[in-house]
A and B are shown apart, each in its own frame.
Chain A
């Protein structure tokens, strides 16, 4: 399982060629990837025909939706689909698989050392297009490209060990594209390519990760409410308009109907009137902060820090920073890392007779 393929040439073309071969050999039925449409917009989509592979943009620095969410929308497939996704998208899918919301065997997953994505607004005026060169230079030099999402600037998990194929992009300066085959499926599928022994050296990413560590400290500090408590949280979430866009784009929030949109929170007028009389005032619609606290407790364990929530927030609330910070802190208590491994059980799903004895004291 420590095989490596090295191919020289332009990286997008190499990937398209591999997909073409797989499609022609009938090993896959389609590729799910970023694509550049006729009008210049970047979308995620399936491509089934070889003649359309030209629109496939494997490494484009945008994330119109979290692909992990899309991967989990597939019921069992008779033939796998190749999916080219970013590490955080793969990690979101891993969390979904653990929740029985997706099937790993549906896909042949390509992922790569990602240098981050630009906010989705860059997909409207196609401003990402003009930054591509600058982005690639930053990626090659293992620095954070200017203007990428805060979530990306603070991301520390860009080598998912369980993805089928890991493509080395960050820090690569020469004309050789290196693909690391991390699963048996990858080896079987890519039979015919010249393979050598080799596994990815994680040290290679240290420069980038060090820079991100510093950015992360600064991003997390801005949403640190450990001193300010509830008031601090109200300051952050006070401007929430209650659209729940953060929840609908979140790859982890998979409930068809969020509890907070359900009848459970549709209070009777007498209940609201009683609250009004008790408190003297009442914010309407109710439960603004409660929604976020609820979502934090429901999913922040599995938050992969993709940053979609911040991107769609109409009130510019740094949702992603709050959720990632909270998620990492809680997950650390269980030595858990979201999306690291399908085998790693979600902490709340494990029953231990003795746990956190200090809480009982």
Chain B
């Protein structure tokens, strides 16, 4: 799994992982003009992404926040999408946020010029509702997850519990946690430059870290399999879909919270998706009734078709759903299936072309076979 460096550079330890990382960024003055990290909002009841220029302000930053109110890829998108970059910035974000940023870069919504991405071994984030209901309890809960190295916590979001991509995403520098130490791993040329500018030498062996990561990963993969098999039963088949999405009120919060759904106006919110009364009555009379708002299931199925290839399973859709539909688990499962069909993993690398943007003369031979209505496609005898 190591891509650039077989060794990492140990950061000077402060009294906690949070403090060690914070101190690292305080010392990046001169290397970066600004740093984006989570900070608690003034009322102390949530977190927000703050791009900080004055290093003094970093004292209030919380590198590893207990919740993910906004996927950082969205914050980066808003900052970089338009116009030329002057300032060099660093962003410290979770692996799934890196993955979303990779997808958005490929979708031409993020410009990574002068942006250096830092990530860390992610313990997961608490569900937004749990935290908002009692922020103080959430803080305590999360602190113990961090302090005790709990990598199989049942308190974190369902998608975090089954995440096997919680380490070393395709960013520039990754912070690995090895028995309380923070080890910086350079993961790109940009990352190498930063570490050498900071006089950090890659002398720390990653063997121990790698074996513990692999252990956690194995457990997560098992949990994922179990979860997916439950979800499969909930969404496959039209009746199951109807039941699963029965309580959907059509607010489209899932879509607006989704880092991948970047359309300024979703098709399903557009005038095209709003039929006139004649059409509505026609549809109602055909079946004796019609649920309002229209096309609730179609919206979800449509969104699946539009974005599941790039779904990074960050779980924000579920956090935003006012009626507790397990949207994230469903999309994560569907995404895993569609991505598998194209041998694609969302957010893995900037180099992998988006499946829908790549033309291959030979692809999905089993579908061609169906189209040709033959037993097997021509020339696929091997």
Residues of A within 8 A of B (CB): 29-30, 32, 35, 37, 39, 41, 43-49, 51-52, 55, 64-65, 69-70, 73-77, 106, 120-121, 123-124, 231, 234-236, 238-239, 241-245, 248-249, 256-257, 261-263, 266-273, 276-277, 280-286, 288, 311-316
Q: Give Cα A76–Cα B281 distance, bound, in whole angstroms.
A: 11
Are the C-beta atoms of B292 and A32 separated by less than 8 Å?
A: yes
Are the C-beta atoms of A46 and B290 separated by less than 8 Å?
A: yes
* A43-B291 in contact given A272-B79, A276-B51 (Cβ < 8 Å): yes
Contact of A284 among B51, B53, B253 (CB under 8 A): B51
Are the C-beta atoms of B42 and A235 separated by less than 8 Å?
A: yes
Are the C-beta atoms of A277 and B53 separated by less than 8 Å?
A: yes
Verify if B293 is at the interface (C-beta below 8 Å from A).
Answer: yes
**Chain A contacts for B251, CB-based, 8 A:** 245, 248-249, 312
Are the C-beta atoms of A243 and B256 separated by less than 8 Å?
A: yes
Give, as a whole number of angstroms, the nearest-CB distance from B74 to chain A. 6
**Chain B contacts for A74, CB-based, 8 A:** 277, 280
Residues of B within 8 A of A (CB): 34, 36, 41-43, 45-46, 48-54, 57, 69-70, 74-76, 78-87, 111, 128-129, 132-133, 242-243, 246-247, 249-253, 256-257, 264-265, 269-271, 274, 276-278, 280-281, 284-285, 288-293, 319-324
User: Which of A234, A248, A271 counts the most B-chain CB atoms under 10 A from its CB?
Assistant: A248
Are the C-beta atoms of A239 and B43 separated by less than 8 Å?
A: yes
Give, as a whole number of angstroms, the nearest-CB distance from A281 to chain B. 5
Give, as a whole number of angstroms, the nearest-CB distance from A42 to chain B. 9
Are the C-beta atoms of B289 and A35 separated by less than 8 Å?
A: yes
A sample of 24 inter-chain contacts (CB < 8 A) reads A32-B292, A41-B247, A65-B293, A73-B274, A74-B280, A121-B324, A238-B41, A241-B320, A248-B252, A249-B251, A256-B265, A256-B270, A266-B81, A267-B82, A269-B79, A269-B80, A273-B85, A281-B53, A281-B57, A283-B48, A314-B319, A314-B321, A314-B322, A316-B133
**Chain A contacts for B264, CB-based, 8 A:** 257, 261-263
**Chain B contacts for A316, CB-based, 8 A:** 129, 132-133
User: Which of A241, A266, A268, A280 counts the most B-chain CB atoms under 10 A from its CB?
Assistant: A241
**Chain A contacts for B288, CB-based, 8 A:** 47-49, 51-52
Give, as a whole number of angstroms, the nearest-CB distance from B326 to chain A. 11
* A269-B82 in contact given A76-B277, A235-B42 (Cβ < 8 Å): yes
* A41-B289 in contact given A29-B281, A270-B86, A280-B54 (Cβ < 8 Å): no
Q: Give Cα A35–Cα B111 distance, bound, in whole angstroms.
A: 48
**Chain B contacts for A124, CB-based, 8 A:** 247, 323-324
**Chain A contacts for B80, CB-based, 8 A:** 269
Are the C-beta atoms of B277 and A123 separated by less than 8 Å?
A: no
